[in-house]
Structure 1
Amino acid sequence: MMKLFYEGGALFMGILTLVLIIILAWGIYHFIIGTKAKESKTDLIIHRLSYIKSFGFFAMITGILGQLIGMYVAFSYIAKVGDISKSLFFGGLKVSMIAPIYGIIIFLFSLLLWFVMDYILHRNKVS
């Protein structure tokens, strides 16, 4: 797992991991408050939980940005060197996909987390 972290680029993978930690902390904190809150404040808590989706979207875009910057740098080196082998090129392309895949997984996780928490809080609000 750590090998993928470093291959994906420590800077962008670190940012994505930080965003994942923020999503978890934000969600758990507001979910606990929402389960204990009075009915009048539940709407505010549910609204704040929707920020989880925004954090997840930020993670996805950050992963794509990491890939684009990495590919730009790689293409610059290829332009300087000239001819390279296909296996080297596609190996680099494979490595460039690590950060966007991680960002998309974080985005999907954030959507799932938001959906479950929103459902539970709405169900508690009605009953």
Structure 2
Amino acid sequence: MTDLFFMGGPLFMGILTIILVAMVSLTCYIAIQKKKEGIKPLADSWVKELGILGLVVGIFGQFIGLYQAFSIIEEAGSVSQAMLVGGFKVSSITTLYGFVILILSLILNVGLKLLDNPNVQQGKGN
């Protein structure tokens, strides 16, 4: 896993990890506050917004990586297909990480919405 982290670029992977930690921390905080006193539904949307931010940062990281790769290819003149495909593979690591963060944010958002349902809190189901 650490190999993927450093292959994806420490800057963007670090930013994405900070977004992931903030999203999970915010989810825990909102869940605790909902159990204690109830919190406004607007706070739930912040979890989803952080997930979307993670995806956008991941895509931005991929575009930066592709731009750098295309600049190097332009200077070199010709590049083997294997090297080109390897560059695409490495540049997509940040986007994949961003998608994982988005999917996790959607799952956490659904969990927070289930806390709002009084039937789920009492164990009655639907």
TM-score (norm 2): 0.91
| Counterpart for residue 91 of structure 2 | 96
The 3-state SS of whatever aligns with 2:78 is coil
1:88-121 superposed Cα distances (whole Å, 9 cap, x missing partner):
0001111111000000010000000010111122
Aligned partners of 2:119 and 2:51: how far apart in 1? 25
The answer as to whether partners of 1:35 and 1:124 remain within 8 angstroms in 2 is no
Tell me how large the CA RMSD over aligned residues is. 1.6
| Counterpart for residue 113 of structure 1 | 108
Say which is worse superposed, 114-123 or 80-89, in terms of deviation: 114-123
| Counterpart for residue 5 of structure 2 | 5
| Counterpart for residue 57 of structure 1 | 52
Aligned partners of 2:23 and 2:73: how far apart in 1? 38
| Counterpart for residue 26 of structure 1 | 26
Long gaps (5+) in structure 2: none
Long gaps (5+) in structure 1: none
Aligned partners of 1:10 and 1:85: how far apart in 2? 26
The 3-state SS of whatever aligns with 1:48 is helix
The answer as to whether partners of 1:35 and 1:121 remain within 8 angstroms in 2 is no
**Are the structure 2 counterparts of residues 100 and 12 from structure 1 closer, same or farther at C-alpha, using a change threshold of 3 Å?**
same
Number of residues of Structure 1 aligned to a counterpart in Structure 2:
122
TM-score (norm 1): 0.90
The 3-state SS of whatever aligns with 1:21 is helix
Aligned partner (choices 34, 43, 64) of residue 48 of structure 1: 43
Aligned partner (choices 63, 66, 74) of residue 71 of structure 1: 66
Residue 78 (structure 2) pairs with residue 83 (structure 1) = yes
The answer as to whether partners of 1:31 and 1:49 remain within 8 angstroms in 2 is no
